[in-house]
Structure 1
């Protein structure tokens, strides 16, 4: 049974590799067996040979974790293979707050949809920062040129998420 209720992960290679990447960037995974178990928890049963090929295609390597043990890591923006630790997650969240202060023009909600407006050309940049942050209330984002649409998990959660982004903008102190 999936630990992510309501989640539906197709059994395609692309979806599986996206889930592998998400797992490797969100936690320390020490072995292929551990990774296979995590995938099985999400309803994706994968053989060892398939998992090995996925790791090669994703350019995953084993690096030293914070405790000195070897863990899998995949390249992120700029080829960085450092592990997402609490401190690096805090940096990502700090970046999101800063970007909201610099780029957020408006935030409005309707039901479980939030629409963020940015200057022209900035929506993808903000959406990427949102996607890399850990906000369990967010199901996903879509970005255009100057608009980011966010879908929340809660059918009435849009207003709270929109308010949170407005608070991020206010917290940043940017735009003076």
Structure 2
């Protein structure tokens, strides 16, 4: 197996389970048929820019730095979206595969930018005008779920 495939396996392993040590990672790779040295694992961790983050039980596990930055970014953007929903949203409705947001004039594009920055499950993209933002969803169920998420954001602020 080449280096790229090994790195891909490591990324998959740390995303699927809590890997706390290099030895644990070495053992998991061995179970997948890869025999690697501790030095190789150390270099791979450096190449992938993995970091240690705290788990719910207080121990440390490997994580992707990009993953953590995205989580922080998602949290900040979620908070911005919450405020924006409270201040500038006029109405919200589901139409088939779409969620239609009516906003105060001039605010739809900022909604679209915030929504595009978030990983909302089932969202394919957004199209915005001056006072209308259309969220294009992959299914009717996704549209309903996203609308409910938005309503939840609003209710969290009340």
Which of 141, 147, 154 is matched with 2:132 structurally? 147
Q: Distance in 1 between matches of 2:138 and 2:73?
A: 25
Q: Distance in 1 between matches of 2:123 and 2:71?
A: 19
Shift of 1:85: 3.9
Structure having the higher helix fraction is 2
- How big is each residue's C-alpha offset from its partner over 1:6-43, in whole Å with a ceiling of 9 and x where there is no partner? xxxxxxxxxxxxxxxxxxxxxxxxxxx68xx7xxxxxx
Structure having the higher strand fraction is 2
Alignment of 1:82-101 (within 5 A): 84-101=69-86
User: Does the 8 A contact of 1:96 with 1:133 survive in 2?
Assistant: no
2:116 — aligned with what? 131
Shift of 1:166: 2.2
Gaps of 5+ in 2: 9-48, 53-63
In the superposition, the TM-score normalised over structure 1's length comes to: 0.50
In the superposition, the TM-score normalised over structure 2's length comes to: 0.54
Q: Distance in 1 between matches of 2:69 and 2:112?
A: 19
**SS class of match (1:84):** helix
User: Does the 8 A contact of 1:97 with 1:169 survive in 2?
Assistant: yes
2:91 — aligned with what? 106
Q: Distance in 2 between matches of 1:163 and 1:99?
A: 16
User: Does the 8 A contact of 1:111 with 1:156 survive in 2?
Assistant: no
Question: Which segments of structure 1 move beyond 6 Å, counting only runs of 4 or more?
Answer: none
Root-mean-square deviation (Å)? 3.4
**SS class of match (1:171):** helix
Alignment of 1:27-66 (within 5 A): 66=51
Shift of 1:167: 2.2
Residues 66 and 72 of structure 1: is their aligned pair in 2 closer, same or farther, counting only changes over 3 Å?
Answer: closer
